[in-house]
Amino acid sequence: MTLQNLPARVKLVDVGPRDGLQNEKQMVPAAVKIELIHRLQAAGVRHLEATSFVSPKWVPQMGDAVDVMAGITRRADTVYSVLTPNMKGFEGALAAGANEVVVFGAASQAFSQKNINCSIEESIERFAPVVVAAKASGISVRGAISCAMGCPYEGDVSPDRVELVARLMTAIGVDHVGVADTIGVGTPRAVQAAMEAALKHYDLADISGHFHDTYGQALANTLAALELGVAQFDTSIAGLGGCPYAKGATGNVATEDVVYLLHGMGIDTGLDLDALVDAGAFISNHLGRKSNSRVAQALLNKRATA
């Protein structure tokens, strides 16, 4: 296999505190979320999704967003992103001092309805004032395009749908879009097709991949996106993650696994794999189960037998 176009450096956004913990059955105390964020910072993470300003009736696990944001010992060089589905969420994010907000739309109408209770077109109408207000406050805006390869309600999703949402997002001024495989059904060619659809409206530097690993394809899909030159990915410590409105979807690709892949190919991330393994062990121990990261498991086993 020839691997061309690979970036020399890749930026990873750790979504574990948000995507990871929004899907846990047990409520995780704010203090544990804050400790996880501090451990991620210690491992070199400079961009993370800290929490969501969404309805606590819809996602009770993110109901402590204000406490989590207030409890973080911030680093000036770190971006603390939060999810904001509407102006109410944005107001919370602004008050909490988030320096990036994420508007989250979908390439499938059914998922949009289930997740944020409105159509794709209505979601864009709700996001537009969020983008204007964020820009006025110097806050950057990322957009997520969920179900870019498949939907739990509609099945296969065509790249045309991704292109449509990317076009709508760029029209309202969203700076960057994440192409998200919410239910982890994508395979490398489908991922490249979805990325290429988003690339019709965004520069390579302004798109990222967000791959859930439900079908075990996320590392292959990451490599497929890297081959296109994509240099930013959402990953989740210990492979935590899932969406309460995408039943059966499991965690995001594990940060530790992506870091091992990238470092093994000589691609810089600025992250310390051993410290990430420690952060992953901290949250996995709290949750009372093994990490979903194969790399973390391997390194923990190696440590235990050293």
The amino acid that residue 263 corresponds to is: H
Q: Which of 78, 71, 176, 89 is nearest to 133 (CA)?
A: 89
Do the beta carbons of residue 216 and residue 185 sit within 8 Å? no
Contact 270, 46 (CB under 8 A): yes
As measured in angstroms, the least distance from the Cβ of 179 to ligand HMG is: 9
Backbone angles phi, psi at 240, to 5 degrees: -70, 160
52 DSSP β-pair partners: 83
**What's the CA gap between 97 and 145, in Å, rounded?**
24
Tell me the catalytic residues: 243
13-32 residues near ligand HMG, rule: CB under 6 A: 19, 22
* Closest CB 144 distance from Mg ion, rounded Å: 7
Please identify, using beta-carbon distances, which residue of 186 and 280 lies nearer to ligand HMG: 186
Q: How far is CA 253 from CA 2, 193, 202, 281, 291, in A?
A: 24, 20, 23, 16, 12
Q: Which x/- pattern over 115-134 shows residues binding ligand HMG (rule: CB under 6 A)?
A: xxx-----------------
Contact window for ligand HMG (CB under 6 A) among 6-14, 86-94, 149-157, 187-195: 86-94
Using CB under 5 A as the binding rule, whether residue 19 contacts Mg ion is answered as yes
Least separation in angstroms between CB 292 and ligand HMG: 15
How far apart are alpha carbons 149 and 155 in whole angstroms? 9
CB of 149 to Mg ion, least distance (A): 13
Indicate the residue among 88 and 286 with the shorter CB distance to ligand HMG. 88
d(CA 172, CA 65): 26
Considering CB under 6 A, how many residues would be counted as binding ligand HMG? Answer: 25
Sort strands 232-235 and 79-83 into parallel, antiparallel or unpaired.
unpaired
Residue 229 C-alpha from the chain's centroid? 19
Q: Which residues pair with 233 in a beta bridge?
A: 12, 209
Task: Pick the stretch among 4-12, 31-39, 109-117, 151-159 that binds ligand HMG (CB under 6 A).
Answer: 109-117
Residues 30-49 that bind ligand HMG (CB under 6 A): none
Tokens of 10: 């890749």
Q: Find the shortest distance in angstroms from Cβ 162 to ligand HMG.
A: 12
Q: Does 245 bind ligand HMG (CB under 6 A)?
A: yes
Contact residues: ligand HMG, CB under 6 A: 19, 22, 52-55, 58-59, 83, 85-86, 88-89, 104, 115-117, 144, 146, 180, 182, 210, 212, 243, 245
Contact residues: Mg ion, CB under 5 A: 19
